[in-house]
Amino acid sequence: MNIDGKHYRTIWLKEDDSSIVQIIDQRHLPHKFIIENLKSVDDVARAIKDMHVRGAGLIGATAGFGMYIAALNAPKDEIFMPQLAADGELLKATRPTAVNLAWAVDRQLEAIAAVNGGMDAKITKALETAQAIADEDADFCRQIGQHGLSIIEKISKAKNGDVVNILTHCNAGWLAFVDYGSATAPMYAAHDKGIKIHIWVDETRPRNQGARLTAWELGQHGVPHTVIADNVGGHLMQHGLVDLVLTGTDRTTYTGDVGNKIGTYLKALAAHDNGVPFYTALPSSTFDWIMHDGVKEVPIEQRGGEEVKYIQGFHDGEIKEVLLTPEDSPAANYAFDVTPSRLVTGLITERGICDASEEGVLGLYPEKKN
Ligand code: MRU
């Protein structure tokens, strides 16, 4: 994706020092563009936990590079693999909901353990695997864009080329992945093809990933959009102002239940009530192939109440936080919810579009049938 005309991914190796991983510290966006160096497993764990990086795909890619850093720094003796396993556990414990995190750590551990050569060969494998996870993430999102484009094209035709209004929640954009994004990839593909679209961007309290990140990246790409408060979507749908709801997900069960940023479920209910199609876009790394009942089983992260009580903004050239609530009021901060499959029109994956059901998902991924 381009920022002021320069192409960026969200994570990469430092050009002149391959022991350093670089990320965009997203806590400062859209006001400041700051690149951060990650040199240790602790740096990586902090970057994920404190949300310098966030979003399912990028959390997975960062964990992949984290395991490469772990391999570089681990003692080069019989402690090597146990140390890597411990570092993997540390990374997995940073955030519970996005399944890409554990998936990337386990993929690395398996790949490194399978190397029979010496330590150098294992480190080389860790680097190759980190890069493969990142490249695959970008490529899968690009393919999601092409599949999702067909849905937008169909609506555009039905509206005789009139603007297609799409509502999205949180940030499932290129900032949540390595490139392109999941929910945004079809939007970018449609916009680049000259299809008229307009995006309603939910602000996404409490951390405002929609208002801060989705609005910023759509703006960088020239996609028409409007930021709305979280509670507006239902009203817009009742008045025919939303043609499609398109979200990402942090963990979707193979039965089609969609875990995503808190508030997604309410949008799905409103979409269902108003006959608006509700699609979720995801690469296969975001499927949970074990959990059957998402509402009961997907672990829902609860973050600190201060994220609800305080709000961040830009003033006088600085990012500041101000108190929003009575100082003593307790606050609860459930970060995700689960939308049951019956409310999901379809899933857009790198292999195509399927029903949000076991039959639909396993039809696209038959190798996952056991
Ligand atoms: O808490 P975050 O910012 O890591 O949450 C992830 C998200 O941005 C959303 O839930 C997104 O829609 C799915 S992640 C591709």
pLDDT value at 226 more than 90: yes
CA dihedral 241, 243, 249, 252 (to 10 degrees): 130
Query: Whole-number mean pLDDT of the chain?
Result: 97
- Quick one: which of 241, 264, 240 has its CA closest to 252? 264
| Catalytic pick among 202, 230, 243, 250 | 250
**What residues does ligand 1 touch, defined as CB less than 6 Å away?**
54-57, 170-172, 176, 182, 209, 247-250, 260-261, 335
pLDDT value at 205 more than 90: yes
pLDDT digits (tens, 9 = 90+) for 2-53: 888 889 999 999 999 999 999 999 999 999 999 999 999 999 999 999 999 9
Is 355 an active-site residue? no
Distance 232 CA to ligand 1 centre (A): 20
Indicate the pLDDT class of residue 370, thresholds 50, 70 and 90: confident
Q: What is the pLDDT of residue 274?
A: 98
For the chain, what percent of residues have pLDDT higher than 70?
A: 100
Tell which atom from ligand 1 comes closest to the C-alpha of 335: 1
Q: What is the pLDDT of residue 117?
A: 85
Distance 74 CA to ligand 1 centre (A): 31
Q: Beta-carbon neighbour count of residue 3 at 10 Å? A: 13
Nearest CA to ligand 1 atom 7: 55
Quick one: tokens of 110? 């398996």
Tell which atom from ligand 1 comes closest to the C-alpha of 171: 8
Distance 204 CA to ligand 1 centre (A): 10
pLDDT mean over 77-102 = 97
Q: What is the pLDDT of residue 354?
A: 98
pLDDT digits (tens, 9 = 90+) for 131-167: 999 999 999 999 999 999 999 999 999 999 999 999 9
For the chain, what percent of residues have pLDDT higher than 90?
A: 98
Distance 173 CA to ligand 1 centre (A): 9
- Residues 6 or more apart whose CB falls under 8 angstroms from that of 350 comprise 139, 140, 141, 143, 144, 147, 283, 284
C-alpha–C-alpha distance, residues 309 and 234, integer Å:
25
pLDDT digits (tens, 9 = 90+) for 165-191: 999 999 999 999 999 999 999 999 999
Structural domains present in the chain: 2-136 (1.20.120.420), 150-368 (3.40.50.10470)
Pocket test for ligand 1, best of 137, 217, 250, 282 (most atoms within 8 A of CB): 250
C-alpha–C-alpha distance, residues 233 and 189, integer Å:
24
